[in-house]
Each structure stands twice: as structure tokens, then as C-alpha cells.
Amino acid sequence: MTESDDLSRWTNRRWHKLDFSCGQAISRSELQNLERLVEEDPNDCNAHRILLGHYLSQLHCSSKLDVEFVRGEYMKHLIWLIQNHPENEDLGYCQTIVNVDVRKIEQVWRKAIQDSPNNSIIRDNADAFFRMLVDKP
């Protein structure tokens, strides 16, 4: 299945590149389609990536009433991606330390590094997270 075939499962749109940033502008129906895809196929990496981008964009603009839901969804997709595809290039860009369980993310990254100690891409993605901890004001 090509990336464009995968897209047609949940949207009629076309993007130049399928990555987490696509999730920042999805419609409610596309969101529902993606959530359904993850339920049907929990290993659909592209669906997790796009949902991660969606919930990241919502994390900073959600009302107090739904910030817990958004945080939970963001964490769910981030942890899935780290555990299943820690080398994914999106992980270098779509992480935050605002409104999340930093300790849980740290544990998942440490396990990913431990499982693949010689993989420089995984280390770079983990470093993107750990640098945020050091650089936070």
C-alpha cells in the first residue's frame, strides 16, 4: 500500500508529504476516520502520526475542560510512536513538555535507547526531547 492509498482510507485531500503536521488542519470527520482506523488497525503508523500532530496542535489551545482529554490522546499516540517506531523522523519535531507527563515520556525514551543502543536516529529523537527538559525556562 502506498502512502496515497493509505490517505484515501480517511480523507480525499492530498498533501505533499504525509507527516505529523497534516494533523494540524484535519476536520472533525477526518479526525473520526483516523480514530476509527487506529481502532481497526492499532499498527497504522501514519494514522498515529497524524493524530499526534492533531493533538499536539490542540494541546496549547484547548480549554481547561478538555485539556485532560487532549493530553491523554497526545500521550497515547506519542508513546505508541516511541515504542513502535522510535526512529520516525516526526519524533524530532512533534514533542512537547507542556501539559504532558514528562516522566512517562522519559521512561519510554530510555527504554527505546536501551533496546537499540547503537541507533543514532533513535538517540537523536530522544535527545530532541531531553534538550527540551534542559532548555526549559
Give dist(CA 79, CA 131) in Å, integer.
18
Spatial neighbors of 39 by CB under 8 A, at least 6 apart, are none
Among 33-47, 51-65, 113-127, the least confident range:
51-65
Q: Is 115 exposed, middle or buried (0-12, 13-18, 19+ CB in 10 A)?
A: exposed
CA 19 to chain CA centroid, Å, is 9
Q: pTM score, two decimals? A: 0.83
- Helix then strand count (H, E) for the chain reads 6, 0
**pLDDT given at position 76:** 95
pLDDT over threshold 70, residue 68: yes
Q: Where are the domains positioned within the chain?
A: 3-135
**pLDDT given at position 114:** 97
DSSP of 69-137: HHHHHHHHHHHHHHHH-TT-GGGGTS---TTS-HHHHHHHHHHHHHHSTT-HHHHHHHHHHHHHHHH--
pLDDT over threshold 50, residue 69: yes
Tell me which range, 15-29, 46-60, 115-129, is most confidently predicted by mean pLDDT.
115-129
pLDDT over threshold 90, residue 18: no
Q: Which helix (H) or strand (E) holds 55?
A: helix 45-59
